[in-house]
Amino acid sequence: MTEVTVRDFRPEDGEALSALVVRCLREVNSRDYPAELIDRMCDHFTADRFRELSAERRIYVAEHHGRPVGTVSRDGNKVYTMFVDPDAHGRGIGRRLMRHVEELARAEGHTFMETGASHTGHGFYHRIGYTDVRVSDTVFGVNHILRRPLSGA
Ligand SMILES: CC(C)(COP(=O)(O)OP(=O)(O)OC[C@H]1O[C@@H](n2cnc3c(N)ncnc32)[C@H](O)[C@@H]1OP(=O)(O)O)[C@@H](O)C(=O)NCCC(=O)NCCS
């Protein structure tokens, strides 16, 4: 997708990111997870939750013509909360967000990037160079832990 830029989260993004994540959960992730779990995750990702999380992690926003179309969060070399607007899937925005956080982690001296993936995100991470490390259980269900080396760190 042309003209997609990645920038830091701003408090006023909370509402748009909450709506984007809830759409993903209801329209995409609901294929892989029970309704009760999807409801719980939708309740979790409120606008205020994003604002709270921004104090704990760096949150990034992919923007197209001034509209948020994706988000990812980072704490050092750990990746969280990767979601792309369902209308814009398959256009390289997820890869773009990941390359953005990988560059920042590499610049801080990290030698690998680590992410946790739902069933839905697992194939995506394989496709962009991540390999499986282990599987863990969380309150939000099964979590595939994957890593990708950061060359030149
Ligand atoms: C997973 C997700 C973030 C991918 O974002 P995206 O912008 O659609 O991905 P991209 O267009 O950058 O895809 C990069 C590559 O991965 C592939 N890919 C994307 N999603 C995939 C999937 N679920 N399974 C396998 N491959 C996938 C693309 O085809 C593309 O391949 P290419 O190199 O041949 O072009 C997006 O589908 C999404 O938001 N899903 C719902 C929320 C979710 O599950 N988030 C992950 C939580 S761990």
For the chain, domain boundaries? 4-113
CB of 29 within 6 A of ligand 1: the answer is yes
Measure CA 26 to chain center.
16
**Residue 153 above 60 pLDDT?**
no
The CATH architecture that domain 4-113 belongs to is 3-Layer(aba) Sandwich (3.40)
pLDDT at residue 151 in the model: 83
In percent, how much of the chain has pLDDT > 90? 86
H helix intervals, 108-147: 119-127
Ligand 1 centroid distance, CA of 54 (Å): 24
Distance (angstroms) between ligand 1 centre and the Cα of 90 equals: 6
Of 146, 133, 139, give the one whose Cα is nearest residue 82.
146
pLDDT of residue 124: 97
Mean pLDDT (the chain) is 95
Chain centroid to CA 1: 18
pLDDT of residue 152: 66
Q: Is 118 in the pocket of ligand 1 (CB under 6 A)?
A: yes
pLDDT band at 1 (very low <50, low <70, confident <90, very high): low
